[in-house]
Amino acid sequence: MAGTRLVVVGSGIAGLSVALAAAPRPVVLLGRAGRGPSASALAQGGIAAAVGAGDSADAHASDTLVAGAFRNDGPRVRTLTRAAPEAISWLQSLGVAFDRDGDRLRLGREGGHRVARIVHAGGDATGAAAMAALSSAARAAAHIDWYEGDVDALLMQGGRASGVRLAGDGALLQAGTVVLATGGIGALFAHTSNPPGSDGAGLALALAVGAHPRDLEFVQFHPTALDVGSGSLPLVTEALRGAGARLFDGDGRALMEGVHPQGDLAPRDIVARRVWQARRDTGRVVLDARGGWIDWERRFPTVLASCLAHGIDPRAEAIPVTAAAHFHMGGVATDDLGRTTVPGLHAVGEVACNGVHGANRLASNSLLEGVVFGRMLGAHLAGLGASEGAGARAVIERGPSLQAGDLQTLRSVMWEAAGPVRSGAGLAAALETVTPMGRRGWQAGLAWRLLTCALQRRVSTGAHWREDEPLPPAVSRTAA
Ligand code: SIN
């Protein structure tokens, strides 16, 4: 039984897609209870798919490559965009009711897309709608056992991943294959649109057993999270700017005027850097969405609710915003089937890096990635026979977690040195602070690796902006 069992760590969109597609293989799905909703459930963007008249998978692929500063893996990008229409049909078959105009899917446009190709569900609640459908399918599936629990170590046998250890009671769960679908690392930064559970715990586990990382320094920053403190902040979707909302600095100047021909809808990294700089220089940045032309209840119920929950009525006042860590393009190096460099260990979704996003992810390609590569991986694993490790057994731990004070310091250091604007001097200073912390907690060890990669990549590319080594403006304009 243990040899055929598949353990999937993480119950966001990628983990659920793997688990469902792996039928009839027995799956143990491990969520992280008490860590709040997954990043998938919070996703306000939609799902990009070339389903409109005149659009094509090739055009979608081309926009993905431009956004990724051509550092993407081309064949995987084409795999993603060709599979997108079928991914939408699959989600519909599971009950996701995408927004429609009459008998057609309503298609929206977001930054970096040359045509309208984003489908949404419930306006800005696409992630929640997709997660509700997949979760109920997974709970009903006879081959899936769904438990809540953190994993703090991987079991290895003869160099092969052969199970996990659950934190708390230390129970060992043996498996033929382990899949990490644990999401991103935004919670290592002082400002993030990710939930607290997106702290890199799965990535750190993979690195602990020797899996190779890839592109760790490529982190996308979203220009507009609600500026109501630090830590996990509600996202203020880019689609609001698509609907006409505009950014202003603390002196009332239009933030993107004269900066980029696409103004407020300039590529995400360019807007995020402007927001970061203007907030530092003028104290505050706001997104003005007043004027009555926005149908808040139908198109932006999630943003409306989170603003109101913080005492801000976006229909009557401008919304304070900050840039925030949003998506990790880097991660555990994998191939298209999620294979890491460690036998028996797979990774998929944001924790993984198969190169599909390059140096910067195109808007609304992340839920899509989870579904497409998650289903491919699940189908592949469904067809594999039982596998058992042989030889010496070992339990490889992620290691101790930083104490709260250290964690707060680490997040500030990461935000200042490895945020939207980086420099060699800043990264080197951050490494000095973080290096001794590495002995006290795995988060610092992970941050150390990211900072080192960012220091070594001297040239700005995609979301990785080195103010000491910037690209000429003509080049940076294409690096959405
Ligand atoms: C947004 O809605 O602004 C975010 C969309 C995404 O990250 O793809």
pLDDT per position as a tens digit, 143-195: 999 999 899 999 999 999 999 999 989 999 999 999 999 999 999 999 999 99
Within the chain, all domains assigned CATH 3.90.700.10 are found at 223-324
Band (476; pLDDT cuts 50, 70, 90):
very low
* Least confident span in 68-77, 139-148, 234-243, 309-318: 234-243
CA of 155 to the centre of ligand 1 (A): 36
From 238, 356, 362, give the residue whose CB has the most ligand 1 atoms within 8 Å, as the site to mutate.
Answer: 238
- Please report the pLDDT score of residue 475 as a whole number: 47
To the question of pTM greater than 0.85 for the whole model, the response is yes
How far is C-alpha 128 from the chain's CA centre? Answer: 15
At residue 118, does pLDDT exceed 60? yes
* Strand arrangement, sheet containing 6-9: 144-148, 27-31, 6-9, 177-180, 345-347
Catalytic residue among 32, 117, 268, 398: 268
CA of 326 to the centre of ligand 1 (A): 9
Within the chain, all domains assigned CATH 3.50.50.60 are found at 6-218+329-396
At residue 480, does pLDDT exceed 70? no
CA dist 99 and 59 (Å) reads 23
Q: Is 239 in the pocket of ligand 1 (CB under 6 A)?
A: yes
Contact in structure between 28 and 145 (CB atoms under 8 Å): yes
Band (386; pLDDT cuts 50, 70, 90):
low
CATH of domain 6-218+329-396: 3.50.50.60
Q: What is the position in ligand 1's atom list of the atom closest to the CA of 326?
A: 7
Tell me, yes or no, if 411 is annotated catalytic.
Answer: no
pLDDT mean across residues, the chain = 93
Spatial CB neighbours of 58, under 8 Å, sequence gap ≥ 6:
78, 81
Percent of the chain residues past pLDDT 90, beyond the cut: 84
Domain 400-480 CATH class label:
mainly alpha
Q: Are strands 393-397 and 151-157 parallel, antiparallel or unpaired?
A: antiparallel
CA of 229 to the centre of ligand 1 (A): 20
- Which residue has a Cα nearest atom 7 of ligand 1? 363
Cα radius of gyration (the chain):
21
At residue 33, does pLDDT exceed 70? no
- Which residue has a Cα nearest atom 4 of ligand 1? 45
Cis, bond preceding 26 (omega within 30 deg of 0): no
Within the chain, all domains assigned CATH 1.20.58.100 are found at 400-480
CATH of domain 223-324: 3.90.700.10
Place of tokens 């979760």: 135
- Which residue has a Cα nearest atom 5 of ligand 1? 45
CA of 55 to the centre of ligand 1 (A): 21
Q: Is 364 in the pocket of ligand 1 (CB under 6 A)?
A: yes
Percent of the chain residues past pLDDT 70, beyond the cut: 96
